[in-house]
Structure 1
Amino acid sequence: MTKEFLVLTAPPGAGVLRDDLVHQIADIVGDADAPRVLGAAEAVEFGLTKSDANLQKNVRAHLHDAPVDVNFVPAAERRKKLLVADMESTIIEQECLDELAVEFGVQDKMVDITARAMRGELDFEPALRERVAMLTGLPVAALHALYDTRISLMPGAATLLATLNDRATTCGLVSGGFRFFAEKIAARLNFDRFQCNDLGIADDRLDGSVVEPILGRTAKADIMHGWCEALGLAPTQVLAVGDGSNDLAMLEAAGMGVAFRAKPAVAAAARFTVTHGDLTALLYLQGYAQSDFVEA
């Protein structure tokens, strides 16, 4: 009986997981089901009847520096009932405050603070207040222009959401970013719910404040648990994804917490990681094949 799955995922279109490489990995895995190709040359899984502490090390050693993500996924409750996703640098490619800082000419100071906060070197809440204060006086019109011209979806995001929505998975967006952007992204991708921070605004300009209480480091996990309770789900039925230190508590609490293109400390702490693939890798981890994907 299959106990867990070894799932290998690679960047779409790169042709990394060739047949010869898959056969080499099959030899290393040994006592396993025949490999199941989930996506041609980009995703494959092996069903394992027992856990082997050395297997991941051996597979990684064989892959060496190939752009392949290696994850071991329990067979039980593999397909999740609730997605809880971070927004910035996860569902979208940008950090919105950093983009606004470019508009306001304070990017040099802002970007460093953002990077340090996401690595966990600075406390999230005071770092957020400091960055927002730098934007005092920025016209709200600049937010509209930024969204229209510089905010882009992370590759795979639209397919991830369309496929999960098709499978009646509840999808929630939870962000330390701001309502102006989160509301638009949630509507664009058909998230069922979202929760985020709010910018202080006066006379159609940012007043330099964040509306309290701030959705900070521990809040995402709390929100996830609240959504689980409302939906009658257990945390084991949750797929969570994020990239920053303020996502860690959420990733650790979820049944499948995926560090996506994450800061090194976050990736090191997470049980599941996707560094090379796009967001469709989250579908592969749950056992969906490319033929199951719904394109938005």
Structure 2
Amino acid sequence: MIKLCVFDFDSTLMDGETIDILADFHGVGDKVKNIAHSPNKLDFFEALLKKVSYLKGMPYTKVLEIGQKLPLMNGAYELCEFLKSKNILLIICSGGFYEGINPAMEKLGFNMGFANHLHQKNGVLSGLVGGEMMFLNSKGLMLQKLKKMLHLKSEEIMCVGDGFNDIAMFEESGLKIAFCANETLKSKADICIDKKDLKEIIKAI
């Protein structure tokens, strides 16, 4: 009996990557995208710091405006309504930013979310970032805490994600769903959805 569903945000609940969308607006899209292909392979934490550093000087009001308009994934509303009808708690764990997940949580009726804050000073981004989801294993550590706080067992939790930093939350969950995911995450999943439509998860479960 599933009681909690934990979602990744970027390229899972939202159709795109928040950092890429912000970087494109700020005119540094190529620099941010190139970090993933750099010969000097950065870990998740280092890559996040590097990417956010390129956003320095961006008006914070524009960040919030973009956050309100991020495109939700096809089927997001339907899947969330279905899960809520089964009295399943909905939580986001995102290696992205509160400026992106907060509007989505409000629209979709989520119970809680965890992400990172883009630091701003005097109305502009400083290029710094901090929060609960800064490391590759952050989602798993957060899920461990949630299980203790909510008195849940792993088999009562399902999670949906697409990337390497979702592996840690897969390890804490009973039902693991890879959504348009990389091959590494697929290999650890119970269910793989390759169509960009979250309603496919309703059929699968």
Structure 2 segments unaligned to the other structure (5+ residues)? none
Distance 1:219 1:145 in 2: 27
Query: 3-state SS of the aligned residue for 1:269?
Result: coil
**Is the 8 Å Cα contact of residues 133 and 139 (structure 2) preserved in structure 1?**
no
User: Between the two proteins, what is the percent identity of the paired residues?
Assistant: 30
| Partner residue of 2:48 out of 104, 108, 128 | 128
Cα 1:170–1:111 change in 2 (3 A) is: same
**Once the two structures are superposed, what CA deviation does each residue of 1:236-281 show, in whole Å capped at 9, x if it has no partner?**
1111011110001111321111111012332233332111252122
Distance 1:282 1:181 in 2: 23
**Which residue is equivalent to 1:202?**
121
Residue 169 in structure 1 maps to residue 88 in structure 2: yes
Cα 1:280–1:212 change in 2 (3 A) is: closer
Matches within 5 A, 1:129-144: 129-144=49-64
Matches within 5 A, 1:216-231: 216-231=135-150
Distance 1:134 1:215 in 2: 17
**Is the 8 Å Cα contact of residues 86 and 241 (structure 1) preserved in structure 2?**
yes
- One-letter code aligned to 2:48: L
**How much has 1:218 moved relative to structure 2?**
0.8
**Once the two structures are superposed, what CA deviation does each residue of 1:46-69 show, in whole Å capped at 9, x if it has no partner?**
xxxxxxxxxxxxxxxxxxxxxxxx
Distance 1:148 1:234 in 2: 34
Query: 3-state SS of the aligned residue for 2:181?
Result: coil
Matches within 5 A, 1:1-296: 77=1, 80-113=2-35, 115=36, 122-149=42-69, 151-211=70-130, 214-276=133-195, 278-286=197-205
Distance 1:124 1:249 in 2: 13
| Structure of larger gyration radius | 1
**Is the 8 Å Cα contact of residues 251 and 259 (structure 1) preserved in structure 2?**
no
**Which residue is equivalent to 1:44?**
none
CA RMSD of aligned residues (A): 1.8
TM-score normalised according to structure 1 size: 0.65
**Is the 8 Å Cα contact of residues 252 and 270 (structure 1) preserved in structure 2?**
no
Query: 3-state SS of the aligned residue for 2:187?
Result: helix
Distance 2:132 2:172 in 1: 22
Distance 1:89 1:238 in 2: 21
Distance 1:201 1:277 in 2: 34
Which sits farther off after the overlay, 216-225 or 169-178?
216-225
Distance 2:114 2:132 in 1: 12
**How much has 1:225 moved relative to structure 2?**
2.1
**Which residue is equivalent to 1:66?**
none
Structure 1 segments unaligned to the other structure (5+ residues)? 1-76, 287-296
